[in-house]
Each structure stands twice: as structure tokens, then as C-alpha cells.
């Protein structure tokens, strides 16, 4: 019995010693200091000291000046030589000079209407010359019961002169002033009011004035030779009617000052084309 108890105690002590040895070994390794690393030791970089409390804030970054857009100079206005009114290519023009009432002066007879045809010549790019002429005649006969009787014939003519001055010329338009003068004369013969012999009636009209307006060229549709005038102005007019019969002469004079409109631009749509053609 004693031997058995002694064996048990011996085995218990041995087990306790083995367990203590197992616990001591890892603890001993944990307490050993770590071996030094190879090479020189690197010390940590010390933190930068904070800026002093009264330090001024850093200046703001410079602001670049705004870049201005480059201004492009406008194209120069076209020169006179580049316009449709090119006197080096086209100096002469023929066109419509308007309708004129030529006075006759006979009782019961209306003034005869005479259209004028005007020839224009440009001396240079600024100054030109207008010369116009128009003629008219009116007559006929009346046949009553086989008896023929001639109507009283009426004749008339008109002469026009002008001095167009181009103040400003662009590509298709020329602004002009035109001092002008016109002389018209008409006449007819009728049986004398007193019933003896024939009476000669005549009328003379003189216009002096100036117009201003523009000459529009149709170069924008490929016809720079064609132009249209639109002008307004003022004129002084004198009309003198005369009657001559049996050696006696009577006259009647009327003076007028008025504004004028010639060659309306809308006449081209009304069928009365007031145009000029250059060649």
C-alpha cells in the first residue's frame, strides 16, 4: 500500500515538473530583448515647429491681367474705281429724262406732253454732263360727210442740260446733286378768234433748279451698266404764252417756285421705266 502511494506521488511530481518546464520556456523567450537591426539606426525626423502666432499670412498668388480680344480693323470702303460707276470702263450713258409739259397757249388746247432722252457723259469720277432732247407733234384730220378737214397741228420740243456731281460713291450707289436747266417751246395755228385770218399761238417754258438723290446700279445682279435714278429738288419755272394775229401780239407770263420729284424709284413697277444704260 505504501509502495503504491509512493509511486503515485512520484508520477504526480514528474507531471508537475514537465508542465512547469513547458510554461517557463515561452516566457523566457518573451522577456529576451530583440536583437539590434543591422546597420546604423535611423532616428525619427523631428516635427516642424508651429509658426508663430503673429506671423502674416502668405500673399495671394498674382492674378494674370485679362487678355483683350484683338480688334480687327474694318475693311476699307471700296474706292471709286471699284464701284459700278467706273468712268474708265463706262463714260457714256443714255436714259430717260422724264416727261415735260410743253405749253402751247391756244384756247381749248392742252399742253403737249414730250418725253426727253438724256445723254450723260462723265468727265471724271466726280463731274459729268447731261444733255437731253425731246420732240413732239400732234395733228390729223376729221372727215365729215365726205369732207375732210385738217386738225390744227401742234408741235413742241424740249432741251435739257445738267451737271451731275457725285458727292459720294459706293459699290452700287452714287449720291449726286444735279443743277439743271430746261427750255421747252410749243406752238400751233388756229382760226383767229375774230374770224379773220389765222392766229398763231405759242408757249415757252424755262426751268432752273437743282435735284439731289441717288443713282442705283444693278451690279448686285450682274448688270452694272443699268442704273436707276431717284431725285428730289426745287426749281424756278417761267411760262410765257403769246398770241399773234393781224400784226398784234399779246402775252401772258406765269412764274412758279416749287419742289420737284423726278424719276420715282417705283416707276419701274408702274410701267414707266426711268432708267439709264451705260456703255
57-74 pLDDT, tens digit each:
677 776 666 656 566 655
Give the burial class of 278: count Cβ atoms within 10 A of its Cβ; 0-12 exposed, 13-18 middle, 19 or more buried: buried
Does pLDDT of 106 surpass 80?
no
Grid cell of 48 as nine digits: 516642424
For residues 144-176, b (16+ Cβ closer than 10 Å) or e, as one string?
A: eeeeeeeebebbbbbebebebebeebbebbbeb
Indicate the pLDDT class of residue 275, thresholds 50, 70 and 90: confident
At residue 65, the pLDDT reads: 62
Q: Which of 125, 117, 132 is nearest to 215 (CA)?
A: 125
Grid cell of 155 as nine digits: 408741235
Please, what is the Cα angle at 273 between 270 and 278, to 5 degrees?
160
Q: Give the CATH architecture of domain 80-139+151-278.
A: Beta Barrel (2.40)
pLDDT by residue (tens digit) across 137-175?
Answer: 988 888 888 888 888 889 999 999 999 999 999 999 999
Element (H, E) at 213: strand 198-218
User: For residue 264, how far is the Cα from the chain centroid?
Assistant: 20
At residue 49, the pLDDT reads: 57
pLDDT by residue (tens digit) across 196-206?
Answer: 678 889 999 99
Amino acid at each position: 500500500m505504501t509502495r503504491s502511494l509512493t509511486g503515485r506521488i512520484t508520477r504526480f511530481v514528474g507531471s508537475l515538473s514537465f508542465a512547469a518546464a513547458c510554461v517557463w520556456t515561452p516566457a523566457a523567450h518573451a522577456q529576451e530583448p530583440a536583437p539590434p537591426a543591422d546597420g546604423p539606426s535611423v532616428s525619427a525626423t523631428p516635427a516642424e515647429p508651429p509658426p508663430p502666432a503673429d506671423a502674416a499670412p502668405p500673399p495671394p498668388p498674382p492674378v494674370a491681367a485679362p487678355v483683350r480680344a484683338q480688334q480687327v480693323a474694318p475693311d476699307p470702303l471700296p474706292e471709286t474705281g471699284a464701284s459700278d460707276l467706273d468712268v474708265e470702263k463706262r463714260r457714256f450713258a443714255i436714259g430717260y429724262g422724264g416727261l415735260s409739259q410743253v405749253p402751247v397757249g391756244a384756247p381749248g388746247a392742252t399742253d403737249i406732253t414730250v418725253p426727253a432722252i438724256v445723254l450723260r457723259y462723265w468727265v471724271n469720277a466726280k463731274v459729268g454732263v447731261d444733255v437731253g432732247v425731246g420732240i413732239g407733234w400732234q395733228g390729223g384730220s376729221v372727215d365729215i360727210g365726205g369732207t375732210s378737214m385738217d386738225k390744227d397741228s401742234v408741235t413742241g420740243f424740249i432741251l435739257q442740260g445738267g451737271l451731275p456731281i457725285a458727292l459720294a460713291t459706293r459699290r452700287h450707289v452714287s449720291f449726286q446733286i444735279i443743277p439743271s436747266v430746261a427750255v421747252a417751246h410749243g406752238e400751233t395755228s388756229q382760226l383767229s378768234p375774230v374770224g379773220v385770218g389765222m392766229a398763231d399761238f405759242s408757249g415757252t417754258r424755262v426751268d432752273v433748279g437743282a435735284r439731289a438723290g441717288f443713282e442705283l446700279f444693278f451690279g448686285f445682279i450682274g448688270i452694272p451698266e443699268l442704273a436707276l435714278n431717284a431725285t428730289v429738288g426745287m426749281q424756278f419755272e417761267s411760262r410765257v404764252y403769246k398770241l399773234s394775229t393781224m400784226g398784234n401780239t399779246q402775252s401772258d407770263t406765269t412764274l412758279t417756285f416749287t419742289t420737284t420729284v423726278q424719276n420715282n424709284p417705283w416707276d419701274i413697277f408702274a410701267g414707266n421705266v426711268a432708267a439709264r444704260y451705260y456703255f
